[in-house]
């Protein structure tokens, strides 16, 4: 029966003009389960790309937004919303208790925000992810935090130090939470046109410094959902096809 099924699949993909071997492999590969995912920062430039990638992978996505947040980037997407202020612990607790989320993604990035925002928000999210039984926490952070200090250009580190300390506080909260964590740091964000392929990848070398697109970060985020190799890991995201700005 298995042989006949594989032959039928191969015949179908050949009729569609697709590469038989690759399509057959995809057709017979086990599919990952749909997860309930809560995204913080989902209305922002990075977060909205992450939301799209997660929806494309078949997940059920809820976005935590401030009441005043613009939602234009998500207008055409089928998502749920929870309103609140991520720096108010009671709001984060309420959001996490609304339903049983499998995964939480922290894609927060507020231009002009006080740097302490990232320490407070990261701590609140990690605490209530742990308290409510979340299985995986994915945190987007910055090269320059933690052991990646030496990867950041020394001549600019001083001006950014307070931000990196706040980001590291959020990272440490995720690590100490007991939830399986994935920390994805980026150094330089560059967004080429949509018709330019992205080649972002995750590396474990905390000395790595390079550019990456938000589209690439979004794809990498979705690829880490339920992925054992992403469990309790700190990565740097780089795309060698993009110019590096220091």
Q: What is the mean pLDDT of the chain?
A: 88
- Residue 109's pLDDT is what? 87
Greater confidence, 105 or 32?
Answer: 105
For residue 182, the cross-strand partners are 138, 233
- Residue 245's pLDDT is what? 65
For residue 189, the cross-strand partners are 212
Which domains does the chain show, CATH number per domain? Answer: 1-30 (no CATH), 31-238 (3.40.50.720)
List, in order, residues 6 or more apart from 32 with CB less than 8 Å away.
57, 58, 225, 226
First and final CA of the chain: distance in angstroms? 58
List, in order, residues 6 or more apart from 15 with CB less than 8 Å away.
none
pLDDT at 223 over 70: yes
The secondary structure of residue 99, as a DSSP letter, is S
- Residue 32's pLDDT is what? 75
Averaged over 41-57, what is the pLDDT? 97
The number of C-alpha atoms within 13 Å of 14 and in the hemisphere containing its C-beta is 8
Rounded to whole angstroms, the maximal C-alpha distance in the chain is: 65
pLDDT at 26 over 80: no
- Residue 244's pLDDT is what? 80
- Residue 163's pLDDT is what? 94
- Residue 15's pLDDT is what? 42
For 68-112, the pLDDT digits (tens) are: 999 999 999 999 999 999 999 999 999 999 999 999 999 998 666
* Rounded (10°) CA dihedral 181, 186, 191, 195: -60
- Residue 243's pLDDT is what? 85
Q: Is the dihedral of CA 148, 150, 153, 155 positive or negative?
A: positive
pTM of the model: 0.86
Averaged over 8-13, what is the pLDDT? 44
For 169-214, the pLDDT digits (tens) are: 999 999 999 999 999 999 999 988 889 999 999 999 999 999 999 9
Q: Residue 114: pLDDT band by 50, 70, 90 thresholds?
A: confident
pLDDT at 21 over 90: no
List, in order, residues 6 or more apart from 55 with CB less than 8 Å away.
61, 77, 78, 79
Alpha helices in the chain (DSSP H): 2-15, 20-28, 45-56, 89-98, 116-131, 154-176, 214-223
Greater confidence, 9 or 96?
Answer: 96
pLDDT at 7 over 90: no
- Residue 246's pLDDT is what? 58
For 151-174, the pLDDT digits (tens) are: 999 999 999 999 999 999 999 999
């Amino acid at each position: 029966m298995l042989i006949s099924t594989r032959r039928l699949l191969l015949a179908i993909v050949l009729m569609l003009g697709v590469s038989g071997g690759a399509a057959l492999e995809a057709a017979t590969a086990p599919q990952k389960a749909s997860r309930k995912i809560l995204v913080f920062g989902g209305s922002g430039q990075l977060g909205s790309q992450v939301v799209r990638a997660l929806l494309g992978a078949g997940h059920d996505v809820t976005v935590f937004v401030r009441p005043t947040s613009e939602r234009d980037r998500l207008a055409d997407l089928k998502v749920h919303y929870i309103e609140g202020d991520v720096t108010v612990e009671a709001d984060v607790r309420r959001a996490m208790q609304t339903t049983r989320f499998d995964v939480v993604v922290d894609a927060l990035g507020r231009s002009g925000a006080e740097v302490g925002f990232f320490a407070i928000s990261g701590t609140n999210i990690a605490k209530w992810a742990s308290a409510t039984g979340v299985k995986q926490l994915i945190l987007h952070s910055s090269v320059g935090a933690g052991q990646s200090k030496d990867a950041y250009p020394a001549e600019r580190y001083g001006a950014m130090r307070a931000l990196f300390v706040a980001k590291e506080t959020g990272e440490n909260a995720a690590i100490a939470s007991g939830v399986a964590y994935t920390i994805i740091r980026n150094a330089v964000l560059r967004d080429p046109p949509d018709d330019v392929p992205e080649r972002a990848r995750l590396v474990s070398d905390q000395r790595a410094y390079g550019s990456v697109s938000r589209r690439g970060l979004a794809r990498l985020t979705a690829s880490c959902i339920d992925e054992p190799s992403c469990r309790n890991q700190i990565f740097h995201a780089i795309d060698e096809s993009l110019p590096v700005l220091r």
